[in-house]
Chains A and B, each alone.
Chain A
Amino acid sequence: MTSAGCTGEVRGGILYLTLDTRGSSINVLTPAVALELEQELERGLAAGARAAVLLSAKPGSFVNGVGLLLAASSHAESAAMERARTLQRCYERLAAAPVPTIAAIEGNCYGCGLELALTCDYRLAADTSDTHFYMSEIRDYAFIPLFGGTQRLPPLLGLGAGMRMLLGERATAKAALRMGLVDRLAPQGVRRALPSLLRELRARGWPKREAAVGVQAGSKRGASLVGSTRGASLAGSRRGAREALPRIAALPGPERELARDCLRLARLPGRRGYRLEDGLREELASFWRTVGKPESGRAMSFFFTRQSAKVHGIGSASYERPARLAVELDGGTPALRGLGRLLRVRKLAGVTLRAAGGAARNGRATIGAADRGRAPARIGRAGRAAAKNGAAGSAPFAIAFAQEKVAGLLTCALGALGTSADCAALLPFPGEPVPAIELVPASAERPWRGGTILFQLLEQAGFAPVVTRARGRFVSERLLDAFHGALAGSTAAQARRALLDFGFRLPAALALGLGKRTPRGLVERREPATAWPSRAAARAARDPAGSADLAARAAEAVAAEAIRALDDGALGHASQADLLAHVLFGFPVVHGGLLRFVAAGSGETARAAARVLGRRAS
């Protein structure tokens, strides 16, 4: 019988548990997979394994989450509870394993996946950009984590750093090492680093890591494996204790209550007489309380919107990319140099970056000399075929970021529309942790399958790509203009406060630029800004309303412009409008999608929003 997603093998006295969720491009710890993990762990222990290693067979994904989204979305407590229990048992068994456990992390380690890694004694991480750590529960889904994150992160990292991770800060592998989330980096991949780590464990008699929960000195045996610059696991707590707690008042409005609940839970391990099982029970109670709220339901539904926008953009929600990818960068403009810097920093396994130039071109493997000079769409299709072979060691797929079309390469030009490249792109806020990037293909292919590899490269490098069919102006620019227009008549401070209280997570450059006509960070426009007839702006000028209104007006203005873009074909689907609202302005997920939120109101824009969402006219 084929495995659902976890196989076990004992080699040289070590149990290797390999995660590979069947039928999915990312690893999801479904109840079936969790059951297998539990069984393989028991089998391995019974066979006398001295240590257990958790690995993933998917290079881009360690564990991206658990299969709870559907169950949790249905508000059926008993059914979701049953699934959660099966998963919980797996976490408990791993945490209670009598032998040292190692999470060998390569690829995304998100949410429950990070919590799974936390139940292990030691964490080893590859130093690639897709190996990063992120707690999605509170930030993306508005519920408290349920597999021990609130009880294990604070003692490990310190309360300040622990809270920051819990509230949704992303950590690269290097940052994870610095903060103590990970014990060791594996520069040449986790499989190469395992043997030496295992040798050390063997030399020390296979020690478990001393519990970092509560107060104790602990033996030095396990501790010395925990990085050379850090002593016992308690050192992390001491350092972290000096780190400031995130200011709850500085968080977007809808996140504050959750953050308070999270802080309460995070403080429990520091209390006298604390027991982990009590803390976990409290955490679980908070999970059920928060997952049942409408905010969480709406936030979870946004997951579907996000994926839907992707499918409408490139035809698939899959997370794969070819094993080898060559990226050529023309540093011709500051914007391109900036993008090159970002891609270099966020280095992905299997991706080689090189500067554009004659020598590089001759050296590079193309998808086939015969494809040079052909129409972009064909390059895309041929590229996909080549991509499939990429893993087999044939020519890597090649992409170029340049101002003009590079023959033979899928070329993306940062800047103005109307380029000779295969697609134009706009990167309005490059300084953000997950910068939005609007892609406008030249090809008429819908969805733009030819852009799949470019899209996935950007997504996995930590950008938020959105595909549009903008003509004349980028849709992002239109939306940003509408946003600014709606805020005319209020001060920057008023606007910032109003938007924050409502729940907007504005990009820093946008927040700073409020009140100025051209926000910092936007690529310089070639044509003069047109004065969009904005009802919202006119109303604002006439009536300096309260701050609660301000945020709603801004939302309405952006929605109105997005609807215009849907009607004129610049946007292909409502989900793309919602995604842009989220990645450009940080429109809060607890309100679901922007259009759905606006449609629930009254007035002309509300009716138009309902129309594009396919609702019956009210």
Chain B
Amino acid sequence: MPKSLHKKITPQASILADLGMDSLKVVELTVLLEKQLGRPVFLPEWIASVDDPADLTVESLARFLSEKK
């Protein structure tokens, strides 16, 4: 991963605006998360849960994942 991207990944970083993710990358993220966590992950639920796509932050993702345990 380029160093420039590393620095961008903060809890407040929005996956759309700051990290430049698109729907296909969200899919790849899902697969990686499932591997890490050892359980199914369905991100559309997370996406639908926020009021503003700008709220799709690293922090809100972490919260979503911990709530689903």
Using a CB–CB distance below 8 Å, which chain A residues touch chain B?
23-24, 28, 30, 67, 69-71, 73-76, 78-80, 297, 300-301, 303-304, 307-308, 311-312, 316-318, 573-574, 596, 612-614
Q: Please, how many angstroms separate the alpha-carbon atoms of A311 and B35 in the complex? A: 12
Docked CA distance A67–B25 (Å) = 12
Can you list 6 contacts pairing A with B, beta carbon distance less than 8 Å?
A71-B16, A71-B53, A73-B44, A74-B48, A76-B52, A307-B27
CB distance from B55 to the nearest CB of A (A): 8
Q: A596-B42, A614-B39 are in contact. List 17 more A-B contacts (CB 8 A).
A: A23-B20, A67-B22, A70-B23, A70-B26, A70-B47, A75-B51, A76-B50, A79-B52, A79-B54, A301-B44, A301-B48, A304-B44, A307-B24, A311-B27, A311-B30, A574-B40, A614-B41
Residue of A78, A307, A312, A318 with most chain B CB atoms under a 10 A cut-off: A307
Cβ A24 vs Cβ B22 within 8 A = yes
Cβ A73 vs Cβ B24 within 8 A: no
**Do residues B27 and A613 form an inter-chain contact, with CB atoms below 8 A?**
no
Is A70 a contact of B16 with CB atoms below 8 Å? Answer: yes
Contact status A311-B28, CB under 8 Å: yes
The 8 Å CB contact of A30, one of B22, B27, B40, is: B22
Interface residues of B (CB under 8 A from A): 16, 20-24, 26-28, 30-31, 39-45, 47-48, 50-56, 68
Of B31, B40, B42, the residue contacting A311 (CB under 8 A) is: B31
Instruction: Quote the shortest CB–CB distance from A475 to chain B (angstroms).
Output: 19
Please give me the residue from chain B that is nearest to A21 by CB atom: B22
Q: How far is the CA of A303 from the CA of B47 in the complex (A)?
A: 13
The reply to whether B48 and A317 form a contact with Cβ atoms under 8 Å apart is: no
Which residues on the A side are within 8 Å of B44 (C-beta)? 73, 297, 300-301, 304
Report the nearest B residue to A78, measured CB to CB: B52
Find out whether the CB atom of A70 lies under 8 angstroms from the CB atom of B22: yes
**Chain A: which residue is nearest B21 at the CB level?**
A70
Do the beta carbons of A70 and B31 come within 8 Å of each other? Answer: no
Complex CA gap A307/B16 in Å reads 18
CB of B45, distance to nearest CB on chain A (Å) = 8
CA distance A317 to B53 in the complex (A): 22
With the chains together, A269 CA to B16 CA distance in Å?
37
State the CA gap A307–B56 with chains docked (Å): 20
Chain B residues with Cβ below 8 Å from A69 are 22-23
Q: How far is the CA of A614 from the CA of B45 in the complex (A)?
A: 13
Tell whether A70 pairs with B53 under 8 Å between CB atoms, given A30-B22, A301-B44, A614-B40: yes
Main secondary structure of the interface of A (DSSP, over half): helix
- B32: nearest chain-A partner, CB-CB: A311
- Alpha-carbon distance between A297 and B31 when the two chains are bound, in angstroms: 21
When distances are taken between beta carbons in the complex, the residues of chain B under 8 Å from A76 are: 50-53
Partner of A74, one of B27, B28, B41, B51: B51
* Nearest CB of A to B42, in Å: 7
The answer for the CA separation of A67 and B44 in the assembled complex, in Å, is 15
Which chain A positions have C-beta within 8 A of B28?
Answer: 311, 316-317
Give A301's nearest chain B residue, CB to CB: B44
The residue of chain B having its C-beta at the shortest distance from the C-beta of A298 within the complex is B44
Question: With A and B bound together, what is the CA distance between A79 and B68 in angstroms?
Answer: 26
B22 to chain A, nearest CB (A): 6
In the bound complex, CA of A487 to CA of B5 (Å): 54
Question: CA–CA, A307 to B30, complex, Å?
Answer: 10
Closest chain-A Cβ to B48's Cβ sits at a distance in Å of 6
Q: How far is the CA of A80 from the CA of B54 in the complex (A)?
A: 10
Min CB distance, A67 to chain B, in Å?
Answer: 6
Q: Is A308 within 8 A of B52, CB to CB?
A: no
Contact indicator B41/A24 (Cβ below 8 Å)? no
Contact check, B27 vs A308: say whether CB atoms are below 8 A apart: yes
A79–B30 alpha-carbon span in the complex (Å)? 24
For the complex, give the distance between the alpha carbons of A303 and B50 in Å.
19
Contacting residues, chain A, for B55 (C-beta < 8 A): 74
Q: Ordered nearest first, which 8 A-B pairs have the shortest CB separation?
A: A301-B44, A614-B40, A307-B27, A69-B23, A76-B52, A73-B47, A71-B53, A74-B53
Set A23, A79, A304, A316: member contacting B26, Cβ < 8 A: A304
* Contact present for A304 and B22 (CB under 8 Å): no
Known contacts A67-B22, A71-B16, A614-B40; decide if A308 and B54 are in contact (CB<8 Å).
Answer: no
Q: Is the CB of A312 within 8 A of B31?
A: yes
A24→B28 CA distance, assembly (Å) = 13
Collect the chain A residues with CB atoms within 8 Å of residue B24's CB.
24, 307, 317-318
Task: Determine the distance from Cα of A80 to Cα of B31 in the docked complex, in whole angstroms.
Answer: 26
Residues of B contacting A24 in the complex (Cβ-Cβ under 8 angstroms): 22, 24
| A69 closest partner in B (C-beta) | B23
A564→B20 CA distance, assembly (Å): 39
In the bound assembly, the distance between CA atoms of A79 and B54 in angstroms comes to 8
A28 touches B53 (CB 8 A): no
A78 to B52, CA, bound (A): 8
Please measure, in the bound complex, the distance between the C-alpha atom of A73 and the C-alpha atom of B52, giving whole angstroms: 10
Docked complex Cα distance between A297 and B41 (Å): 17
- Which residues on the A side are within 8 Å of B48 (C-beta)? 73-75, 297, 301
Q: How far is the CB of B20 from chain A (nearest CB, A)?
A: 7
Closest to B15 in A: A70
Cα(A563)–Cα(B68), bound, Å: 21
Chain B residues lying within 8 Å of A70, measured Cβ to Cβ, are 16, 21-23, 26, 47, 53, 56
Please give, as numbers and ranges, the residues of chain B lying within 8 Å of A74 by CB-CB distance.
47-48, 50-53, 55-56
Minimum Cβ distance to chain B for residue A7 (Å): 18
- B40, B42, B50 — most chain A CB neighbours (10 Å): B42
A73 CA to B40 CA in the complex, in Å?
A: 20
Residues A612 and B40 in contact, CB atoms below 8 Å apart: yes
Q: Which residues of B are found within 8 Å of A303, using beta-carbon distances?
A: 23
Q: B28, B45, B53, B54: which has the most chain A beta carbons within 10 Å?
A: B53
